[in-house]
Amino acid sequence: MSARTLNLMPSSEVMAAEVDGVDLSAPVESELAAALNDAFLDHLVLCIRGQRLTPSQYLDAARIFGEPQQQLVKHFLHRSEPLISLVSSVDNRDKAGDGRPIVRGPYWHTDDSFFEIPAKATVLYAVEIPRGRGDTWFANMHAAYEALDQELKARIANMRAVHKYVSRRAGARVAKLSEEDREKTPEVSHPLVRTHPETGRMSLYLNPNRIDRVEGLSLTQSDALLDSLYAHAFEERFHYRHRWHEGDLLIWDNRCTMHRASTDLKPGDRRLLHRILLRGTRPQ
């Protein structure tokens, strides 16, 4: 298949698109790889349907879009491919330190913002999906920024927020880190408004599960501003709901989106996805 015959279908008016008829288990020619990257940048969330991939083929597919990087929490990692982690509904290990299982990503967030250089994109491959449940929601943060009034845009233009692995404002429990991993995750500062390094578009750069405070404001002022920005970004007009099918390979742009997992899984549901993070650049 060449780029000229790429079967690309928008998933919603807000964001996202689907691709059919591409087999990522086979080598991908440069023209098609370029078309897939263009579609990813244009639509922010790109789903390539109907894949049947080994872990090594999945890594090769992810490399079409960037360089896979090591992920933080070791007990999630795939045993034979350590650049892949597992997102599983049936893994009951003590991930939060209190003996209870944890649902990964149920609150709005963007991946890896607690690092100085966050991942540019996340790639998920659907291995096992319960019918009609376990969807993922996305928020278009370009659209959320563009819908702000000019006064608020001017106010936050040069503001920065402190991101932490464990934030006092976190809306969801997170995996307990080893001492080694805690040393890798000091608090970091990122702009509230981010310029996309490839498209030049501006977006809100928010992570309600990791942002602790806005620099230069009192905690009361910071909380009020963050609450206002979050309420705006949580409006459904900016959202797209991805309904998973087994064999989906989904990639999204962490530089200009947020996402959250649905919490509608029932006892006995089996949901297994493989996850890869792609190396990014320092937010500007």
Per-residue pLDDT band for 175 (boundaries 50, 70, 90) equals confident
Q: What is the CATH number of the domain that holds 232?
A: 3.60.130.10
pLDDT at 1: 44
Q: Quick: pLDDT tens for 118-130.
A: 999 999 999 999 9
Inside any domain, residue 115: yes
In degrees rounded to 5, what are phi and psi of residue 238? Answer: -100, 5
Inside any domain, residue 269: yes
Token pair for 86 = 């597992």
Average pLDDT over residues 237-250: 97
Q: Quick: pLDDT tens for 22-67.
A: 999 999 999 999 999 999 999 999 999 999 999 999 999 999 999 9
Element (H, E) at 152: helix 150-156
pLDDT at 152: 98
> Exposed, middle or buried, 79 (CB in 10 Å: 0-12/13-18/19+)?
exposed
Per-residue HEC secondary structure of 54-117 comes to CHHHHHHHHCCCCCEECCCCHHHECCCCCCCEEEECCCCCCCCCCCCCCCCCCCCECCCCCCCC
Inside any domain, residue 180: yes
Q: Quick: pLDDT tens for 176-188.
A: 888 888 898 999 9
Inside any domain, residue 284: no
Could you tell me the residue range of the domain that residue 113 belongs to?
3-278
Inside any domain, residue 92: yes
CA distance 125 to 2: 23
- Chain Cα centroid distance, residue 236: 18
Inside any domain, residue 283: no
- The 8-class DSSP code of residue 32 comes to H
Q: How many domains does the chain have?
A: 1
* Alpha helices, DSSP H, located in 172-241: 179-183, 219-233
